[in-house]
Every structure is written in structure tokens, then in C-alpha cells.
Chain A
Amino acid sequence: MTSAGIPYEHAVEAWRAAAPAPPRSLDVPAADVLAAHHPDHQAHGTTTLRVGANAGDRCPSVLADLLESASLVDDVDIAGTAVADTDVVVVGGGGAGCAAALTAADQGARVLVLNKLRLGDSNTVMAEGGIQAAVAPEDSLQRHFADTVRAGHLAGSRDLVAAMVHDGPDVIRWLIQLGVTFDTVAGDAGEVLMARGRAGGTTVPRILSCRDHTGLEIMRSLREAVALHPGIVVRDHAPVVELLTDTHGRCTGAVVVDLVSNAVQLVRANAVLLTTGGAGRLYVGSFPSSNHYGATADGLVLAYRAGARLVDVDSFQYHPTGLAWPSALVGQLITEAARGAGALLVNGHGERFVDEVAPRDVVAAAMLREMADGRAVERDGQVGLLLDVPSLVADQPEILTDRLVTLAKLAARAGVDPTAEPLMVRPTLHYQNGGVVIDEHGATGVAGLWCAGEVAGGIHGRNRVMGNALLDILAFGRRAGRAAAHAAGERIRRPVGLHHLQQWQRGLVDAGLPLDRRAPLLFPPESNVTPDDVMARCR
């Protein structure tokens, strides 16, 4: 998809001659660049779903293969297996899962958190830039709402956006109560104000941050709070491979594989909450991925098979500035905060080609256009654009030590002096814009099943603004946790079974789909482990 570019040495010469390059906006309408170059708009590598609630919708083939797959377990596999009871089971202990678990447990529910890897292993811990919340006097909830809806190309649910935006300031208070710190600045009268950065495509600086490791700061506090909460049981290395349902199709629990003891186990719960994250490790469109090892769309597969409806599953976000060189560091991100602070994107001719703080999808599409048209930079067979950090440092000498500390460390690992040499970057698969359809409380169309975080969809439309992901996972994690705890208050012991699978298998057979393709994937393609390998360990 990329043609060879201008040799790196020449490109650096051109950059040095012009730096800092003068502003240059897109020479064609953004909509045209999106249509021509954004991967969401390309038919290549997509297919039409044939079974399930979204039959007829377009979907990337790598994801469709998983959505339209058979279960890893049959009824006979779970016969004779003991059932453990809890009130709320949370699948996936990342940011959304921890927020949900803490909220549900604070309401008095007994909570079980199941982790495929370990508690806290998630995209959340990797989030760098920050979290959006409208706290500034010149900002407002309405403005945050409008920025979010607009960036999503008006495709997001207004009710969901309003719910998220409304929770913003309260989420920040909750985080501070949990011990999450934020950068502050002194106001004119010496008052303490939250330091704010600017997200691409927004009308006012709204990004709150803890340096450029905001996700780490949030995740380590959330994880510790969950680990120490007396009402929460955490189990690591225990992925969910199927949901349990009763005869009415209500979700009543989960089938768990314990990778420590290599056994299949059943958990019955009054409420099941999927907070499994995204799908970046599917390498949609063969793009490199910035995602955590566990981002394999497991929750989408489980929910879809149980009957939940998905939205915008053909829409993904490509972060403009993933490293493109050296090859060992491809997939590592440079936070958007760098562009927010003034770092410029430059092509092989030393020219800027897009407003760096335009919405992410526009910037990424503009970069892909440069790459497709031979204006990109080539080094050791890797192709990308130049990120002019040296000019930023010349303007703000303290920025690498005060704010962009992760960038400085990454540059050091790449062997690049960020004060003297630009970094080579390229669009990198970063975020699943769509997901399971939820209401303002995280409820899905399947009774007993809630979703929150990246697995859920409908909030960000077809493009997400920087900083809204961390807000989304916490706002809806708390909402879903509260709703699940409320539902679990009934404490009814419902029957558990795999009642949804018969109908699902009929669908596969009717559509002529293979029955030996099994999912969830659990571990990414490079893991050298198939889901069948995982199940074989238990036999």
C-alpha cells in the first residue's frame, strides 16, 4: 500500500533546510482525502457479515472471521464442571473493568474480575496523552459534547456522548480520590488550575494529564484499589472463552479457562460485564498496531455470539504518529500531545502537508496520501513521515524533561537525539471506534450482559478524539458497574447453559460458514498459540 519514498538522508537535508517548515494546510477538502486514503473507506480486506445481529454489515475480514466462528466449548465440555457463584463477573481488568469492579463492589456486590493476562494488563496502562474533561472556565459540557460528536462525523449516539461528557468532571474527582494525580499550573491569583493540552480537532484545550504517562498513572492506582478491595476477587491468567446463557437467552455467567491449573471452570453471576478492550492485535488492514498483546476482540466475539448487536465495526482509528523506524520499535506511539504542543509533520521534501492538530483520521489519511504518492521518507526499507521534534525543543527547551518524558525515552531507544534529528512516524492501528451497542448504563441487547470501554461502541462515531478513550472507559465503566450491581441485587440463581449456541450453529450452517473455525482468538497471531491449543491444555 506504500510506495518507496525519498531516501532518509535526502529527506533530513530537506527538513533541515526548511525547519521549522511554514504552515501548509491540505490542498483538497478533508472529506476527499478521507475517502481516498483512510482505510475505513477502502473496500479492500472487508467482507459482509452473514450471521448474527449485524448480518449484512460491512466488516474487516480478519474480524469477520472471528465474529462468524464456532464456540470453543460444547455442552459436553462443561458437563460435570463445578459452578462458582458470584454477583458480578467482570471480564477484563483494564481501566474499564477496574472502574466497573470498584463501583459494583462499593455498592455491596461480590465481584469477580477475570483476566486473560494479569489485572491491569491493558491498553489503558499504555495511554500517554491524557483524559478529556471540561473543567476550564471557557469550556463547557456542551462544547465537549459538540467537539466529540463533530469529530465522530456525527455518527456517535448523542445520548451516549452526553452521558460520557457529563461524567467528565466527576470522573476526575473520583480519580483524585483514588490517588491519581494530574498536572497543575498556577493561575493569575495563585489558584491551582488543571494543566490542559489540546486534542486534534477540538475547539479548546481540554486534555488533562499526568505528564505523558497518564494511563500508567491511572492504571496503577485503579489496579491497587481493586487488588486491595475486600469485595473483589481477582483471578489472573483466566480468560473467558464463552458466555453462559439460560433458556431465555439471558447471560448468566461465563466459561473460564484457568491457564494456571489448565482446567475449564464455570462462573455463574447475576450480571456479566465485558470490559475486554479492542481489536488492535488483529492488524486490520495489515497496519502495525500500538495495542496491548491482549487486544484480540474477544469481547466482541462473545457478545455477538450471545446475540448482541454491534455498531461501526468497520471503523478503526489509525494513530498518526507510531514509530516507522527502526523496525523493532514499529508500533510504539508518540503521543498526540507532541503535535498538540507544536511538533510538525514533514514529508520527504521538508514540507508540511496537513494541519497537525486536525482530527486524527484526517491527519492519518493525509499521511497515507503522502506515502501513496511517493513523498514519504524511506529508511532501511521502512516508510514514514518526519516528526519535527527538534524545532519544538528549540521553541520549548524544557518540554522533553517536563512533559514529553516518554517521547524522550522512546527516542533514546531508537538511537535518535530528539533535539537534533526528526523521528520517523507512520499511521498505526490504534483503536476500535465501534463495538457492542450499549445504552447509557452499559446495558447491551442481551439481558444480563453489560459492556464498557473499547469493546462498546456508538460513543465516538467513526473517529475518536484524543483523551476521550480514557474518559469513556471510566465513565461507562462506573455506569455499567453501578447498573450491574443493582441488577445483581436480585441474587437469583439462574440456570447456566450454552443455550445460545444451538441457534448460533444453525446460523453458521445456513450461511455455509465453516464450523471448525473457533474463537475468541485469546492470543494474537504472533503468539504461536491458537485457541484450540489453549483448549487442548485442558483435556
Chain B
Amino acid sequence: MTHIGGSPRLLTALDTLVGVDLDAWLAGPGGAALTAAVADPAAAREAVRLADLRGMGGAAFPTARKWDAVAAATVPAGERWVIANGNEDEPGTFKDRVLLEHAPHLIIEGALAAAACCGAANVVLYVNPRHAGVEAAIAEAVAQWRDHHLLDELERVLGEPVRLRVHASSGLYVGGEDTAAIASVEGGFPFPRRKPPYPTTHGVEGMPTVVNNVETLAQAAVLLRLGAPAYRDLGVGEASGTRLYSLSGDVIRPGLYELPSGTSLRSLVFDHGGGMLADRSFKAVFTGGPSNTLLATDGLDVALDPDSVVAAGSRLGTGAMIVISEGTSITRKVAEYIDFFAGASCGPCPPCRTGTHQLSQILHRIDTGHGTPADLDTLRSLTALLPGSGNCGLVDAAATVVASALERFPHEFERQVHHR
């Protein structure tokens, strides 16, 4: 199991990491959140709003706004959907798979609480079959909820039988995009769709749908159990609650850290991660995907909560932090991540496939010593041309990483091209 560290430990507490044992979960902290949501769905939504819970799959969208939108729909519960998105596939992010395997009931309870809050009878656990053990664990965990009295309570409130099921995703990166998850649940290939319309009004089969990242739902379960004020107090300063940080790269102790939201990047890297590997100095971190703007040394004291990271010019994304030391090449790392995006580009939008492929070609040329100054002009021009040209944000993410690397580390690119 991945190294898990940090404090306070709520999502990753020992009595939460009980695996597929529902009795053990309910004997510990389990059950309180769902009970609260079933007892008063509107109050539960209000708690989620007060706790300022944000999506943890990348976009940091306020969870309460999605729930409120679906709760306000006029269609019956049987035509509303909750999708727990556990597709997680981007480099450097490895939190959801740990939760799914070791705390499946936390996620299921969060998803059922969301269903109670939104009045949705369809609950889909959308998981990535490429994560060894996850699909089996979650299927077994779901089976244990059948005929459980807590589920009966939920059905009573909804007035409909709850259809709780597991849906294996394609395993492809794009399948994690919310509209792609919907397409997959509908039985099709997970092609993202242009937004708007948004899933809360036009989701599965055109019906109101909440798509939440599995950590978001786990956090929802924790906050409904603790109450919004206590949950908020877990964070540093204005930040609310805890969150999972996937720490990797040139640090001594990479791993999964559950820390108060708003913990500084410096604290994550040096206090928890044990500092930089081989005494190299810190150079940069690829945040959350790696699909966002890089943070460099002047970003070390940024508080790792969604708003503070945006204020610093980047985005927290999935909470993944890939740390780069002075011993690691930015150009090579960027080339590696662009290769990931180029391989993940799913097809319908030629600018995305050809654009990411072209970015990859140029970056590899620069990385292997065949780049020219004109290549840098072309890279910059592509980062301006590409964003917005795809149905989803993949090509934007690729362009952002390249633009940011060029902006923060121009000397590294300049040094590697040949002036003829």
C-alpha cells in the first residue's frame, strides 16, 4: 500500500481503512453521515455549502451548487443520477485508488448521502478497472449494502428503490471528464461533450446528474458526520477541512498525505515529504494533474487550498504535487507529460490530437538537442492557438503546462536550442 502520512487523519484513519468490511465500518465512524442526510436532506446540503466543499477531481467546483441544482430538478428520483467518479488516471495522482480499495464504504456512504441530498435513486460507482484490486473491492463493498436498513431508510425518503451499481470505466484518461463519465455510464465510448449544457441539467440520458470525484464524496461523508463548523476548523486559516495530497518526484518520502487544507507547499515538501532528494535544491512543482501552471521557489509558501493556489496563478487540481529538483530537466519532464496528453487525446477533435502530437514533436526535438529558436516561437504560438479548440480541457491542460514552463523557465529552453 502507498505510504500514507499526515494529520489529522479522517479519510485515512485506521478505523476508516477497513476495506470491504461494512460491519467494521459501521462499528467505527460509519453511518452517521447517511443518517444525517436522510433525516434532513436540505440541512445536509446547507452543511455542504457552509463547509465550502469543493470538487477534488480537478476543477474545485463548489459541490453544494451541483447538489442544489439536481435537488431543484422536477423529474422523479428514478431519473436523477449520482456518479462517483473514480477514473483517476493522470500522472502523479494516486489518491482515489487508495480510498476505493481501502475505504470503499466511506465513498459509498458519501455517494448515498449525495443521493439523499439530491433526491437521486441512481447511484453509480464509476471506477477504473486498471487499478488492481479496486473494481473487485468496490463490487464486494456494494454487495454488502444490499438490504441494509440504512439503504431502506434512503429508499423510504426517495420513494423509489435505490439502484446502486458499479460501472467499470474504459480506464482511459479522458473517461474522467464528467461528460465522458456520463457517456460511459450510458454505454458509449467516453467521448467528452462540449459544455454547456452541464450534467446537472443534461446528464445521463439527458437527466439531472451529479458527477463527483470519489474523494469529494468521502469528504462529504466526513463533514456530514462532523458538522460544517467542526469540518471547517480542520483547515488552516480560511481553508476548510482536510485533503489528500499525492506527493511524488524528487522528495525523500513520496506518498499520500492527508493534511489540513491550506497547508503550505513548503510544509508538504519539507516537513512531511522529508525534503529534497540528494540535497538538491527545490526547482518547481507540477500541480494537480499535471495540467496546470508550475509553481517555482516563489510559490513554496503558497497555501495548498483551491483559492490560494489560484491566487498564486495556478490550480490545485487533484492535489497531486510532482516536485522537481535542480537536478531534473524541465524540458524533459514537460515532454514526458505532453506525451501523456498526446496519448490520452481521444479522437473527435483534430486540434487536440494533432496539436498535442506537434507539441510533443517539438519538445522532443528540443530535448534531444535538435531544437531551434524558431521551435520556441512555434511552441509559444501553439499555446495561444490551441486552448478552447477541444470539446474538453485536455488540450488546454497541455497548452497550459507548456506555456507555464516556457514562462517560468525560459533559460532552460533557450539553453537547449541551437542558435544558427
Q: Is the CB of B420 within 8 A of A537?
A: yes
Binary per-residue interface labels of chain A (509-538) against chain B in the complex, 1 for a CB within 8 Å, 0 otherwise: 000000000000000000000000000110
Q: Is the CB of A536 within 8 A of B420?
A: yes
Which residue in chain B gives the minimum CB-CB distance to A261?
A: B370
Q: Is the CB of A260 within 8 A of B420?
A: no
Contacts of B420 in A (CB 8 A): 262, 536-537
Q: How far is the CB of B418 from chain A (nearest CB, A)?
A: 7
- Bound state CA distance, A261 and B420, in angstroms? 12
Q: How far is the CB of B346 from chain A (nearest CB, A)?
A: 28
> In terms of DSSP, what is the predominant structure of the interface of chain A?
loop
* In the A-B complex, the 6 residue pairs with the closest CB atoms: A537-B420, A261-B370, A536-B420, A260-B370, A262-B420, A262-B418
Contacts of A260 in B (CB 8 A): 370
By a beta-carbon cutoff of 8 Å, the part of chain B in contact with chain A is 370, 418, 420
Contacts of A261 in B (CB 8 A): 370
- Bound state CA distance, A261 and B418, in angstroms? 11
Contacts of B418 in A (CB 8 A): 262
CB contacts under 8 Å to B, within A261-310, are: 261-262
Size bracket, chain A contacts: under 10
7 contacts between A and B (CB under 8 A): A260-B370, A261-B370, A262-B370, A262-B418, A262-B420, A536-B420, A537-B420
Q: How far is the CB of B365 from chain A (nearest CB, A)?
A: 9
Contacts of B370 in A (CB 8 A): 260-262
Q: How far is the CB of A262 from chain B (nearest CB, A)?
A: 7
Binary per-residue interface labels of chain A (203-225) against chain B in the complex, 1 for a CB within 8 Å, 0 otherwise: 00000000000000000000000
Contacts of A536 in B (CB 8 A): 420
Q: How far is the CB of B279 from chain A (nearest CB, A)?
A: 37
Q: How far is the CB of B366 from chain A (nearest CB, A)?
A: 13
- Bound state CA distance, A536 and B420, in angstroms? 7
- Bound state CA distance, A261 and B368, in angstroms? 10
- Bound state CA distance, A110 and B420, in angstroms? 35
Which residue in chain A gives the minimum CB-CB distance to B370?
A: A261
- Bound state CA distance, A51 and B319, in angstroms? 74
- Bound state CA distance, A537 and B418, in angstroms? 10
Which residue in chain A gives the minimum CB-CB distance to B368?
A: A261
Which residue in chain B gives the minimum CB-CB distance to A538?
A: B420
Q: How far is the CB of A486 from chain B (nearest CB, A)?
A: 38
Q: How far is the CB of B416 from chain A (nearest CB, A)?
A: 15
Binary per-residue interface labels of chain A (222-265) against chain B in the complex, 1 for a CB within 8 Å, 0 otherwise: 00000000000000000000000000000000000000111000
Contacts of A537 in B (CB 8 A): 420
- Bound state CA distance, A261 and B370, in angstroms? 6
- Bound state CA distance, A86 and B420, in angstroms? 31
- Bound state CA distance, A260 and B418, in angstroms? 12
Contacts of A262 in B (CB 8 A): 370, 418, 420
Which residue in chain B gives the minimum CB-CB distance to A536?
A: B420
- Bound state CA distance, A258 and B180, in angstroms? 44
Q: How far is the CB of B310 from chain A (nearest CB, A)?
A: 42
Which residue in chain A gives the minimum CB-CB distance to B420?
A: A537
- Bound state CA distance, A260 and B371, in angstroms? 9
Q: How far is the CB of A45 from chain B (nearest CB, A)?
A: 35
Which residue in chain B gives the minimum CB-CB distance to A260?
A: B370
- Bound state CA distance, A248 and B420, in angstroms? 37
Which residue in chain A gives the minimum CB-CB distance to B365?
A: A260
- Bound state CA distance, A262 and B371, in angstroms? 11
Which residue in chain A gives the minimum CB-CB distance to B418?
A: A262
- Bound state CA distance, A537 and B419, in angstroms? 9
Q: How far is the CB of A140 from chain B (nearest CB, A)?
A: 52
- Bound state CA distance, A536 and B418, in angstroms? 12
Which residue in chain B gives the minimum CB-CB distance to A539?
A: B420
- Bound state CA distance, A260 and B420, in angstroms? 13
- Bound state CA distance, A537 and B420, in angstroms? 6
Q: How far is the CB of A373 from chain B (nearest CB, A)?
A: 49
Q: How far is the CB of A337 from chain B (nearest CB, A)?
A: 34
Q: How far is the CB of B411 from chain A (nearest CB, A)?
A: 22
Q: How far is the CB of B375 from chain A (nearest CB, A)?
A: 12
- Bound state CA distance, A262 and B417, in angstroms? 13
Which residue in chain B gives the minimum CB-CB distance to A533?
A: B420
- Bound state CA distance, A25 and B33, in angstroms? 98
- Bound state CA distance, A262 and B375, in angstroms? 15
Which residue in chain B gives the minimum CB-CB distance to A537?
A: B420
Q: How far is the CB of A420 from chain B (nearest CB, A)?
A: 35
CB contacts under 8 Å to B, within A365-404, are: none
Which residue in chain A gives the minimum CB-CB distance to B369?
A: A261
- Bound state CA distance, A144 and B418, in angstroms? 56
Q: How far is the CB of A174 from chain B (nearest CB, A)?
A: 36
Q: How far is the CB of B361 from chain A (nearest CB, A)?
A: 11
Q: How far is the CB of A243 from chain B (nearest CB, A)?
A: 26
- Bound state CA distance, A260 and B368, in angstroms? 12
- Bound state CA distance, A260 and B369, in angstroms? 11
Q: How far is the CB of A260 from chain B (nearest CB, A)?
A: 7
Q: How far is the CB of B399 from chain A (nearest CB, A)?
A: 25
Q: How far is the CB of A236 from chain B (nearest CB, A)?
A: 14
- Bound state CA distance, A116 and B143, in angstroms? 66
- Bound state CA distance, A425 and B418, in angstroms? 46
Q: How far is the CB of A535 from chain B (nearest CB, A)?
A: 11
Q: How far is the CB of B135 from chain A (nearest CB, A)?
A: 42
Q: How far is the CB of A192 from chain B (nearest CB, A)?
A: 40
Q: How far is the CB of A531 from chain B (nearest CB, A)?
A: 15
Q: How far is the CB of B250 from chain A (nearest CB, A)?
A: 31
- Bound state CA distance, A262 and B418, in angstroms? 10
Q: How far is the CB of B420 from chain A (nearest CB, A)?
A: 5
Q: How far is the CB of B374 from chain A (nearest CB, A)?
A: 12
CB contacts under 8 Å to B, within A430-473, are: none
Q: How far is the CB of A374 from chain B (nearest CB, A)?
A: 48
Q: How far is the CB of A391 from chain B (nearest CB, A)?
A: 42
- Bound state CA distance, A536 and B372, in angstroms? 14
- Bound state CA distance, A466 and B420, in angstroms? 45
- Bound state CA distance, A492 and B370, in angstroms? 35
